[in-house]
């Protein structure tokens, strides 16, 4: 879908399952699926890459894709009916919205940040959340390099003037970046990538992080934020939104920065107090700034960025040497495609195989694939409250069967167990499902099965019947 399209959505009909190589499938491994893949509904918002749509529709799911985020009312209406939702940074999945999502199994954040989702509320409902931890890091780092040069040469202002027909050839207060000092706050995927790029352009790099990190190149870690602010000509923020990073840069921090220095924020809008930044720019203590993220951002392209949205917007627009961009740090074709593939793959592996490796709010577990030699097999997936005695109860149920392999782990209040069981018939499946899902600690019980031709009749059709018998609980039975 082209960037900038609004009010458009796409319904993609299920397609035959595409064969794809994955760590689960070897020549003797069987592909697993929920019993009725074609009933799985996926809602993708905010212009998620076609690569993701192709992967998910290729799994046989029903995919509905929108180019923008939805109003809360429409979101609540739609989320009630879907098993999976894919979002970027704008859609807020609060506990109130999630409370309506009775069928939801999994959330895909097609971005790095996951602060827009109430991760704990999701986990309590047995909904796992995946993101893309690094696929847009390079894009953000490159944007920041561009901004450092633009700010240093006042290129944003010269560009605006030329567009107004004004010739204004200036060298006063314009500088090379070679030999200048870059101060990076948050030396994770983006900060460290930026560090390498900046050094290759002749900059000296210092960074501040709450954990000790091995510096790349000849960058140096400093032990306090204030030390970094005092040293740097350019200060750039690459921290997640947390309680500690909210309002991290205010009056006190800006006054610690060198006179004539620059501030860049492409992290989250809550990290920099914009009134403090305004003061810094208006007093010319700061020589410029670049901002990509804002406390409140428009829901879709074409909407206004004005005082109604953020009370200081019109004051900000008057500032000199201030680059404002509409949260495009990760918006490149390369990044969006990579994110689309990465997150869509995590989603179908979770839906089909129960694999939670990479989940940001859920115990991370996986099992090796069910092999051809394991006849009439099912995989039992059991998300439950992390309370004593649950596994004893469940293993008593499984003890009557041939458990080929089993894995379980916990994260905070949530635990998750995965078990492959072979030699099961219809009655077994029904009994296993009924007894496990009625355990007191049950949050969500699911069963997936191989549907290869060899066992299609025995498992596939039984599965289909079971879906009819116990649907919609089959995919969404949760304790409330």
Ligand X SMILES: O=C(O)CCC(=O)C(=O)O
Question: Is residue 447 near ligand X by the rule CB under 6 A?
Answer: no
Task: Work out how close the CB of 327 gets to ligand X at its nearest, in angstroms, rounded to a whole number.
Answer: 6
Q: Which residues in 94-153 contact ligand NAI (CB under 6 A)?
A: 112-113, 134, 136-137, 140
Task: Report in angstroms how near the CB of residue 294 gets to ligand X at its nearest.
Answer: 12
Asked about 327 being catalytic, the answer comes back as yes
User: CA–CA separation, 49 vs 120, rounded Å?
Assistant: 27
For residue 473, give both structure tokens.
């609980």
Burial (CB count within 10 angstroms: exposed 0-12, middle 13-18, buried 19+), residue 371: middle
Least distance from C-beta 10 to ligand X, angstroms? 18
Question: Which is nearer to ligand NAI, 162 or 210 (by Cβ)?
Answer: 210
Tell the smallest beta-carbon distance from residue 218 to ligand NAI (Å). 19
3-class SS of residue 449: strand
- Contact between 154 and ligand X by CB under 6 A: the answer reads no
- Strand (E) positions, 14-148? 32-33, 41-44, 62-66, 84-87, 106-109, 128-130
Instruction: Tell me if 133 contacts ligand X by CB under 6 A.
Output: no
Q: Is residue 212 within 8 Å of residue 262, measured between CB atoms?
A: no
Tokens of 120: 């704990």
Distance between CA atoms of 27 and 36, rounded to whole angstroms? 24
Contact between 88 and ligand NAI by CB under 6 A: the answer reads no
Under rule CB under 6 A, residue 68 binds ligand X: no
Cα 276-147-172 angle, rounded to 5 deg = 80
| Contacted entry of ligand X, ligand NAI, none for residue 88, CB cut-off 5 to 8 Å set by kind | ligand X
String of contacts with ligand X for each residue 329-368, x by CB under 6 A: -xx-------------------------------------
Question: What's the closest the beta carbon of residue 56 comes to ligand NAI, in angstroms?
Answer: 22
Q: Describe the crossing of helices 50-58 and 333-353 by its angle, rounded to 10 degrees.
A: 20
Beta carbon of residue 46, minimum distance to ligand NAI (angstroms, whole number):
12
Parallel, antiparallel, or unpaired for β 286-291 and 322-324? parallel
The contact pattern for ligand NAI, residues 179-218, with x = CB under 6 A and - = no contact, is ------xxxxxxx----------------xxxx-------
Active site residue 430: no
295 interacts with ligand NAI by CB under 6 A: no
Residue 226 to residues 54, 209, 210, 278, 292: CA-CA distances in angstroms?
Answer: 48, 12, 13, 20, 23
Contact status: 13 vs ligand NAI (CB under 6 A) = no
Q: Please identify, among the stretches 98-106, 109-117, 145-153, 361-369, the one whose residues bind ligand X according to the rule CB under 6 A.
A: 109-117
Cβ(238)–Cβ(263) below 8 Å: no
The rounded distance, in Å, linking the Cα atoms of 480 and 124 is 10
Give me the least distance between CB of 268 and ligand X, in Å please.
Answer: 7
- Which range touches ligand X (CB under 6 A), out of 10-18, 71-79, 107-115, 192-200? 107-115
Tokens of 95: 């506990």
Q: Of the listed pieces 91-99, 110-118, 299-307, 352-360, which binds ligand X according to CB under 6 A?
A: 110-118
Instruction: Tell me the backbone φ, ψ of residue 288, rounded to 5 degrees.
Output: 175, 170
Rule CB under 6 A: is residue 83 a binding residue for ligand X?
A: no
* Residue 389 burial (10 A CB sphere; 0-12, 13-18, 19+): exposed
The answer for residues whose C-beta is within 8 angstroms of residue 149's C-beta and 6 or more apart is: 155, 177
Neighbour count for residue 256 (Cβ, 10 Å): 16
113 binds ligand X (CB under 6 A): yes
Dist. CA 445–CA 477, nearest whole Å: 7
Catalytic residue among 88, 138, 268, 446: 268
Catalytic residue among 88, 287, 327, 379: 327
Find the binding residues for ligand NAI in span 317-336 (CB under 6 A).
327, 329-330
Determine, following the binding rule CB under 6 A, whether residue 14 of this chain makes contact with ligand NAI: no
Q: Which residues contact ligand NAI (rule: CB under 6 A)?
A: 112-113, 134, 136-137, 140, 185-191, 208-211, 238-242, 244-245, 266-268, 292-293, 327, 329-330
Interface with ligand X by CB under 6 A: which residues?
A: 88-89, 111-113, 136, 330-331
Catalytic site positions: 268, 297, 327
């Amino acid at each position: 879908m082209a960037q900038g399209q609004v009010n458009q959505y796409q319904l993609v009909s299920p397609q035959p399952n595409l064969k794809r190589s994955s760590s689960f499938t070897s020549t003797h491994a069987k592909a697993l699926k929920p019993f009725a893949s074609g009933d799985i509904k996926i809602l993708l918002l905010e212009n998620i890459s076609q690569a993701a749509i192709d992967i998910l529709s290729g799994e046989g799911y029903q995919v509905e894709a929108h180019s923008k985020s939805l109003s809360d009312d429409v979101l609540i209406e739609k989320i009630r009916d879907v098993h999976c939702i894919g979002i970027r940074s704008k859609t807020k999945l609060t506990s109130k919205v999630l409370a309506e999502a009775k069928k939801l199994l999994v959330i895909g954040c097609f971005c790095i940040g996951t602060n827009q989702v109430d991760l704990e509320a999701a986990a309590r409902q047995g909904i796992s959340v995946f993101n893309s931890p690094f696929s847009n890091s390079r894009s953000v780092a490159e944007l920041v390099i561009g901004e450092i040069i633009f700010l240093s040469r006042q290129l944003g202002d010269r560009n605006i003037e030329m567009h107004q027909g004004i010739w204004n050839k200036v060298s006063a207060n314009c500088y090379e970046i070679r030999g200048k000092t870059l101060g990076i706050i948050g030396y994770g995927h983006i900060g460290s990538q930026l560090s390498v790029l900046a050094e290759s352009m002749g900059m000296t790099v210092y960074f501040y992080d709450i954990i000790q990190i091995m510096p790349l190149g000849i960058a140096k870690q400093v032990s306090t934020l204030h030390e970094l602010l005092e040293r740097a000509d350019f200060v750039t923020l690459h921290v997640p939104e947390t309680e500690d990073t909210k309002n991290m840069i205010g009056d006190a921090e800006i006054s610690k920065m060198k006179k004539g220095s620059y501030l860049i924020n492409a992290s989250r809008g809550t990290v920099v107090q914009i009134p403090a930044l305004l003061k810094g720019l208006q007093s010319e203590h700061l020589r410029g700034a670049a901002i990509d993220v804002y406390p409140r951002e428009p829901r879709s392209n074409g909407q206004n960025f004005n005082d109604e949205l953020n009370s200081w917007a019109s004051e900000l627009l008057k500032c000199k040497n201030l680059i404002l961009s509409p949260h495009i740090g990760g918006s490149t074709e390369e990044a969006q495609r990579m994110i689309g593939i990465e997150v869509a793959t995590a989603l179908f592996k979770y839906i089909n195989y129960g694999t939670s490796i990479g989940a940001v709010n859920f115990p991370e577990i996986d099992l090796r694939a069910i092999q051809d030699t394991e006849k009439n097999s099912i995989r039992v997936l059991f998300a439950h409250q992390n309370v004593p005695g649950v596994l004893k109860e469940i293993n008593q149920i499984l003890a009557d069967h041939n458990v080929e392999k089993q894995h379980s782990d916990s994260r905070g209040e949530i635990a998750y167990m995965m078990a492959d069981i072979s030699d099961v018939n219809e009655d077994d499946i029904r009994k296993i499902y009924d007894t496990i899902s009625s355990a007191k600690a049950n949050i969500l019980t699911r069963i997936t099965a191989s549907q290869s031709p060899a066992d299609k009749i025995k498992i596939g059709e039984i599965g289909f019947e079971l879906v009819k018998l116990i649907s919609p609980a089959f995919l969404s039975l949760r304790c409330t």
